[in-house]
Amino acid sequence: METPYIYDSIEGASSPCCRVLELLPGEFDDDIFVRLRVIQLGNEESEPFEAVSYAWGSAERPHKIYVATNETREGDADARSHYVQVTRNLAQLLRHFRLPDTTRTIWVDAICINQDDTQERSAQVQLMPLLYRTAAHVLVWLGPEEDDSTWALGTFSWWASKVAVDEISGELVLLDSSDPVEDAWMADSRTALSPSSREFTSCRKLIERPWFERVWVRQEIHLSAHKSSVHCGHCSIAWSGLATGIMSLFRRAVDPDTPNRAGYSHRLRLVSDLGYKRHWFFERLIYNVWLSSCLDPRDKVYGILGMLREEEAWIAEALEPDYTISKSHLYRRVFEVSLENGDGLNMMELCLPSRGSKWKPTWLPDWADQGARPEPMLRQRPDLGAAAEVRIVSDELLLLAKGVLYAEVNMVKPSSLKGGPVAALAVEQEIRDIYTTFSPYMEEGVDILETMAYTLSQSNVSEHNIGHTNPYQKHSLVDLKTALGMICIPDGLEDTQVDMLDRLLDHAALSLRNRSIAMTDKGHMVLAPAEAEVGDVLAVLLGSSLLVVLRRKPDDRYQVVGVCHAHGLNWGEGLVGPLPQGWRFVRHWNTTKFYKLWLQDLSTGRVTNFDPRIDWEELEVPEHDHTCDDHLEEWGQGRHFRRPGEAYFRKRGVPLQEFYIE
């Protein structure tokens, strides 16, 4: 009689341990027999095993895996006495990895962890980083051979033989080759693959497989990229080959006729993150899981803890996996940890309440929401890098924040660009509609093309980018204005080809998708959330590196609508007025593609973190601590300064107010 397998407890061990699965030998179509046993982790005597990285797949039509004991063998009458049920994808994985004449020892989460024991799940998930570091090898399973996947892996492997990828910056370096034609093609990233080519269609199908969007794979690959192989059916390549091939595809131009071009570009960005060997900051890690998928919404948090930088290791302890707590309890704890980590209110960028949503409070992101989301916004500094002045009113789940209510929305035009296919002509039409809608309402003397250029690019123009920039950051404000003129008022400009037109359209598509354009009562054009309405207000909240759109509610309460970009308000103008003549803000990009927000004195070219509008002498402190910004290169050794906060701004006469956000 067949009965479900009953797990023995592995609690109480004196050192970290886990179950491993002994995959017993057999032919491909034979029933699958395994044994389970417990091994030690993380010491010199640890037994070798291979870990598997895969997507669970659909739970429909599960397959039985028979669990043998030490006393039973496949041919015994009671060998089928106990079983576990697994998904079809896992059963396929085991058949492909099973050897015909040798037992193979692997770790696979669905079988090696008792999924019905929440305490065991919590304890084992804490060991995931150690487990993947300990594994002798990691097997990445993409699924069976289909959609020309063998050709796709061969294509990625061929690209990897032609270029090397810098694991930190993602830049490609052409390798020596004897074929000048191939070299020229690989070196010219502007040459797109034909959407109808076998290479393109097979590679696109491959990266659209579920494995690439799974939350856990990011940590698994981060910990084991150097010892991982990728398997699709019976074909396999080293992870390094697939990662290099993916980066080659990511760096290559996209043909304008590509079906669902925007969706494809989004997928490439999601997948390309796997090709970087970076230690992201917590704030970025928690942001990156927006569109990743998982069966348990709590894994949006637990699945990234093994990737934290050393200086943020305390966060893994603060968010220790515990599957007995609710999703909302965990997400609130993430917000609190973000505040403790000095990230301020930046997580509000993830707050995108949709119409009819019952998620509360609105200041707390719901990472489990898989609804349409816009691309992340480039950070600005509307609060001048101020210290966050916030408090959670526990009994009512209210967030008390300090800041300035600066302007009110009096016009809104929702973008027609949604999450589906976005053709270049549709983007051009959207740009023309914005120009037609808002140009009659611009204040006299305001250059609408310049305002639109800043808004649609989120100020991502060469005048405001320095350091290790990429081609998307090297076009100028003049270039974008010219391209906008060609679209909006072609009769007013010389009709010449501008090579920045495609870049403008790409910028506009990314900025406008799932957003709206709004106008305030003070004449600011706003790249606003899709749900923005007339009557919403723009607030500068201390501790937020983006402007926040709030909605008034009864009893002097507010709700978060989302974050926004408003040219003329992004750099502290709402607190202390505009920058002095001869100064501008810049993003200073480093080799790892991170940027810091700085200011530049145009008369000298000097770049500084000291805002000339701030009285820094008033903020100097005798000793350095975590609340202070260090500016040794500017002021000499030993001088430290506190970030401006509520007390400083009130002394300056800034009309700060309290916002109770529900």
The residues, ordered by sequence, that sit 6+ positions from 299 with a Cβ below 8 Å of its Cβ are 215, 216
Q: Are residues 201 and 78 in the same domain?
A: no
Instruction: State yes or no: pLDDT of 298 exceeds 90.
Output: yes
Q: Are residues 180 and 200 in the same domain?
A: yes
| Local structure of residue 388 (DSSP, 8 states) | P
Integer Cα distance of 608 and 599 in angstroms:
5
Report the C-alpha dihedral over residues 405, 406, 410, 413, rounded to 10 degrees: -100
Instruction: Report residue 598 as tokens.
Output: 């700085």
Instruction: State yes or no: pLDDT of 467 exceeds 60.
Output: yes
| Residue span of the structural domain in which 190 resides | 145-209+239-277
Q: Are residues 163 and 129 in the same domain?
A: no
Q: Are residues 33 and 62 in the same domain?
A: yes
Give the pLDDT confidence score for residue 326 in this predicted structure: 93
Instruction: State yes or no: pLDDT of 391 exceeds 70.
Output: yes
Burial class (CB in 10 A: 0-12, 13-18, 19+), 478: middle
Give the pLDDT confidence score for residue 161 in this predicted structure: 87
25 within domain boundaries? yes
Nearest to 134 by CA among 43, 235, 6: 43
**Mean pLDDT across the stretch 633-649?**
74
Give the pLDDT confidence score for residue 600 in this predicted structure: 93
Integer Cα distance of 476 and 453 in angstroms:
10
330 within domain boundaries? no
Question: If you compute the radius of gyration of the chain from its CA atoms, what whole number of angstroms results?
Answer: 27
350 within domain boundaries? no
Q: Is the peptide bond before 195 cis (omega within 30 degrees of 0)?
A: no
The neighbour count for residue 378, using CB atoms within 10 Å, is 18
Give the pLDDT confidence score for residue 372 in this predicted structure: 61
Lowest mean pLDDT among 29-43, 171-185, 286-300, 318-332: 171-185
**Mean pLDDT across the stretch 387-406?**
88
Integer Cα distance of 428 and 425 in angstroms:
5
322 within domain boundaries? no
Q: Are residues 66 and 178 in the same domain?
A: no
Instruction: State yes or no: pLDDT of 135 exceeds 90.
Output: yes
Where is mean pLDDT largest: 82-96, 175-189, 310-324? 82-96
641 within domain boundaries? no
Strand runs labelled E in 166-312: 172-174, 228-232, 235-238
Q: Name the more confident of 475 and 241.
A: 241
User: What band does 624 get if pLDDT is binned at 50, 70 and 90?
Assistant: low
523 within domain boundaries? no
User: What band does 249 get if pLDDT is binned at 50, 70 and 90?
Assistant: confident
User: Which residue, 469, 496, 513, sits at the end of a domain?
Assistant: 513
Integer Cα distance of 163 and 153 in angstroms:
16
Give the pLDDT confidence score for residue 166 in this predicted structure: 66
Integer Cα distance of 549 and 546 in angstroms:
10
Phi first, then psi: what are they for 610, rounded to 5°? -90, 115
Instruction: Report residue 189 as tokens.
Output: 């990233």
Yes or no: say if 456 and 504 are a contact pair by the CB < 8 Å rule.
yes
User: Which residue, 82, 106, 135, sits at the end of a domain?
Assistant: 135
User: Tokens 């081609």, residue?
Assistant: 471
Alpha carbon of 482 to those of 72, 372, 460, 475: distances in Å? Answer: 77, 32, 16, 11
Taking every pair of C-alpha atoms in the chain, what is the biggest distance, in angstroms?
Answer: 90
450 within domain boundaries? yes
Instruction: Report residue 32 as tokens.
Output: 């699958």
Instruction: State yes or no: pLDDT of 497 exceeds 70.
Output: no
User: What band does 471 get if pLDDT is binned at 50, 70 and 90?
Assistant: low
User: Which residue, 135, 166, 200, sits at the end of a domain?
Assistant: 135
Give the pLDDT confidence score for residue 630 in this predicted structure: 43
Instruction: State yes or no: pLDDT of 104 exceeds 90.
Output: yes
Instruction: Read off the pLDDT of residues 36-45 as tens digits, 9 standing for 90 and up.
Output: 999 999 777 7
Give the pLDDT confidence score for residue 384 in this predicted structure: 94
Instruction: State yes or no: pLDDT of 565 exceeds 50.
Output: yes
Lowest mean pLDDT among 120-124, 421-425, 428-432, 589-593: 421-425
Give the pLDDT confidence score for residue 273 in this predicted structure: 78
Q: Are residues 452 and 471 in the same domain?
A: yes
User: Tokens 């603060």, residue?
Assistant: 318
Q: Are residues 198 and 253 in the same domain?
A: yes
Where is mean pLDDT largest: 270-284, 388-402, 463-477? 388-402
Q: Name the more confident of 165 and 101.
A: 101
Q: Are residues 69 and 157 in the same domain?
A: no
Instruction: Read off the pLDDT of residues 569-582 as tens digits, 9 standing for 90 and up.
Output: 999 999 999 999 99
Give the pLDDT confidence score for residue 627 in this predicted structure: 46
Classify the phi-psi angles of 319: left when phi > 0, otherwise alpha if psi is within -120 to 50, otherwise beta. alpha
The residues, ordered by sequence, that sit 6+ positions from 531 with a Cβ below 8 Å of its Cβ are 352, 353, 354, 355, 561, 562
Q: Are residues 195 and 87 in the same domain?
A: no
Give the pLDDT confidence score for residue 340 in this predicted structure: 87
Give me the percent of the chain exceeding a pLDDT of 70. 87
The neighbour count for residue 532, using CB atoms within 10 Å, is 24
What domain count does the chain have?
3
Burial class (CB in 10 A: 0-12, 13-18, 19+), 296: middle
Q: Name the more confident of 2 and 455.
A: 455
Q: Are residues 181 and 68 in the same domain?
A: no
Give the pLDDT confidence score for residue 632 in this predicted structure: 35
Instruction: Report residue 460 as tokens.
Output: 């991502």
311 within domain boundaries? no
Integer Cα distance of 613 and 636 in angstroms:
21
Q: Are residues 62 and 86 in the same domain?
A: yes
Instruction: State yes or no: pLDDT of 641 exceeds 90.
Output: no
Give me the percent of the chain exceeding a pLDDT of 90. 55
Integer Cα distance of 390 and 645 in angstroms:
11
Instruction: State yes or no: pLDDT of 454 exceeds 90.
Output: yes
Integer Cα distance of 637 and 618 in angstroms:
18
Q: Are residues 95 and 33 in the same domain?
A: yes
Instruction: State yes or no: pLDDT of 51 exceeds 70.
Output: yes
Instruction: State yes or no: pLDDT of 629 exceeds 60.
Output: no
Give the pLDDT confidence score for residue 634 in this predicted structure: 47
Which amino acid does the sequence have at 49? F
User: What band does 73 get if pLDDT is binned at 50, 70 and 90?
Assistant: low
The neighbour count for residue 39, using CB atoms within 10 Å, is 16
Q: What is the mean pLDDT of the chain?
A: 86
**Mean pLDDT across the stretch 142-152?**
97
Give the pLDDT confidence score for residue 324 in this predicted structure: 93
Strand runs labelled E in 108-153: 137-143
Phi first, then psi: what are they for 127, rounded to 5°? -90, 0
